[in-house]
Amino acid sequence: MKRIRTHVYALIAAGAVTLTGAAVATAHTTEPAASHSTNTALADAFGKVTRNTNWQLTSKLKLNFPTFHTEGIAFTPDHIFLSAVQIIEHTVKYPSPQGGYDRTPGKGIGHLFVMDLQGHLQKDITLGEGDMYHPGGIDFDGRNVWVPVAQYRPNSSAIIYRVDARTLNVHKQFEVKDHFGGIVMDKQTGHLVGNTWGSRRFAEWNLQSKQLKTWDNPNFFIDYQDCQYVPSSKMLCAGVTNLPQTPAAGGTAATYELGGVAMLDLTSEQVTRDIPFQKWSTAGHVATRNPFKMTADGNHLTMRVAPDNGDEGNGTEILTYQATVS
């Protein structure tokens, strides 16, 4: 992966590509084939991370286009992909559940921004249908970027999209019941694994949409927002939870953002390691608030995150943190 430059770059104008409803082709279900990678560098290095690991902020890349509320990020040899939701009408909680929902659907637009490696916007791909307008955490499997787009409320529904990272062609893979806010491709099995609202539950499907299994999240430390596949059959997730402050500091009206990163074993369905991550963005958010990806070069780890919305602080910045473990 090429190193992200630290300069602020001018915006390259790019037309928006809208791919919703019938305009999205149905995916072929025979690809991609499962890959049996044995590169365990990231799993090995993350297994040495502790609460005392010294993470250093090494660069900031400001994005000079409207990014709205950022959700997931993925890096390919040629592009940076960033998912985001543009809220047109906020959801409103019902006094009591109606039709199985706890709130109104709201209105919005789901974006998948495609940038070059310097952060210049190249395309704005619009994803979603009807009430399903909220993209979540995304994953790159070496060929495709996988994007879930759900209703912005729990116990709802979602569409799973596959985006060819080279051609940028978009395929609607299938629809699922429930809000799935993140997804990875398990390259050991060729199956997709998604996490629900608040990451309280996981589900696994084949590419023909058949649900193969589901399990509850055994960990309540944080809510996972963006995840990635890690060989072999592991998933690395980052996220945030809002905890109440002391009464003197404002109580539940003044929540504290707790961030963290966790490794999950997709075979045993257990969390094998998790750590807090309390570094802060320009706008004051914990760094792991939403978009997150990590790489390893031996014992040297690089984490890239984009926690701030487009209208906060200095706008959305891709922050790079690095650490060496032993």
| Residue-by-residue pLDDT tens, the chain, 326 positions | 433 333 333 333 333 344 444 344 444 444 444 444 568 999 999 999 999 999 999 999 999 999 999 999 999 999 999 999 999 999 999 999 999 999 999 999 999 999 999 999 999 999 999 999 999 999 999 999 999 999 999 999 999 999 999 999 999 999 999 999 999 999 999 999 999 999 999 999 999 999 999 999 999 999 999 999 999 899 999 999 999 999 999 998 899 999 999 999 999 999 999 999 999 999 999 999 999 999 999 999 999 999 999 999 999 999 999 999 99
Count of domains in the chain? 1
Predicted local distance difference test score (pLDDT) of residue 157: 98
- Structural domain contains residue 164: yes
Q: Tell me if residue 22 falls in helix, strand or coil.
A: helix
Predicted local distance difference test score (pLDDT) of residue 7: 36
pTM flag (> 0.85): yes
- Structural domain contains residue 230: yes
User: Where are the strands (E) in 152-255, listed by range?
Assistant: 157-164, 170-177, 180-186, 191-196, 201-205, 211-216, 223-230, 234-243
Predicted local distance difference test score (pLDDT) of residue 39: 85
- Specify burial of residue 139 (Cβ count, 10 A radius: 0-12, 13-18, 19+): buried
Predicted local distance difference test score (pLDDT) of residue 37: 52
The CATH code of the domain that includes 52 is 2.120.10
Predicted local distance difference test score (pLDDT) of residue 155: 96
Tell which residue, 53, 71, 47, has the closest CA to residue 274. Answer: 47
- Rg for the chain, CA atoms, rounded: 19
- Structural domain contains residue 208: yes
- Structural domain contains residue 1: no
Provide the domain limits for residue 279: 16-25+35-324
- Structural domain contains residue 98: yes
Q: Return all residues near 268 (Cβ < 8 A) that are at least 6 apart.
A: none
- Structural domain contains residue 30: no
Q: Return all residues near 294 (Cβ < 8 A) that are at least 6 apart.
A: 42, 46, 228, 236, 238, 261, 301, 302, 303, 304
Write out the H or E segment, with its range, that includes residue 297.
Answer: strand 292-297
